[in-house]
Amino acid sequence: MKLNVVPAKTGSEWVRQGIRTFWKQPIALSGLFFMFMAIMSVSSLVPVVGSFAALALLPAATLGLMAATREVDLGKFPMPIILAAGFRVGKERKRDMLVLGVLYACGFIGVMGLSALVDGGDFAKLYLVGGALDTDTLMKPEFQNAMWLSLLLYIPLSAVFWHAPALVHWHGVPAIKSLFFSTVACLSNWRAFLVFGLMWSFIFLSTALVLMLVSGLMGDASFASLAMLPAMLMLAAMFFCSSYFSFRDCFVSDTLYA
């Protein structure tokens, strides 16, 4: 395995490949993504440790979606058990996947903790525990500052963990080394990831604007709210599909583990 540095335009190709692959098996991949969301939601309901457990499962769950994308790309049908791919391997890789999960959960909670210093914890409580978001809270400068601070801090956290689960699963890289290699890969290919991020931002925003425009033309204010959630979930599934191709192109290897 070695690092591969790609041109900036490759970022747009990752987006297109993810969308094309999704539409090869839209029902299967949508179903797997909904299962992924359900696992996260149910885990978060566990008293006391629920939110931490859900965050700890995220690296393995995203690896499962990447593995499903790989199956579809190879012309195979992804079965539901593929979501547990990160834990259906040898003892060492299973342990490393769990280590990644714990480190990710600690890192994310650390980000939320820093945001709590800005607004007293309103944004962190809403994100980790849930609840209703009222207009007064949303318009508070402290709440908005906490939200933007969390986003800025999450970007480097995401880069550190972006490739790590796949490196552990398919290349047998130890957990800590996988975090290092993931960071180096993202920094080395920052131009491609910038294009990747901008394209997905444009797709999400333009989809929301189109739905609101259609809702206005129809004179039905409820249409946008009803259509927004399934549309965003479908786009999120495509996003996770495209993440597999970013990993595949950033690392070159003669073979991938099954």
pTM of the model: 0.89
In 3D, which of 194, 203, 200 has the Cα closest to residue 159?
194
Report the alpha-carbon angle 194-246-231, nearest 5: 75
Can you give the pLDDT of all 258 residues of the chain as single tens digits?
789 999 999 999 999 999 999 999 999 999 999 999 898 888 877 776 888 888 999 999 999 999 999 999 999 999 999 999 989 888 899 999 999 999 999 999 999 999 999 888 888 887 776 666 667 777 788 888 988 999 999 999 999 999 999 999 999 999 999 999 999 999 999 999 999 999 999 999 999 999 888 888 887 777 777 888 889 999 999 999 999 999 999 998 765 544
Q: In whole angstroms, what is the distance from residue 54 CA to residue 46 CA?
A: 9
Q: In whole angstroms, what is the distance from residue 129 CA to residue 44 CA?
A: 8
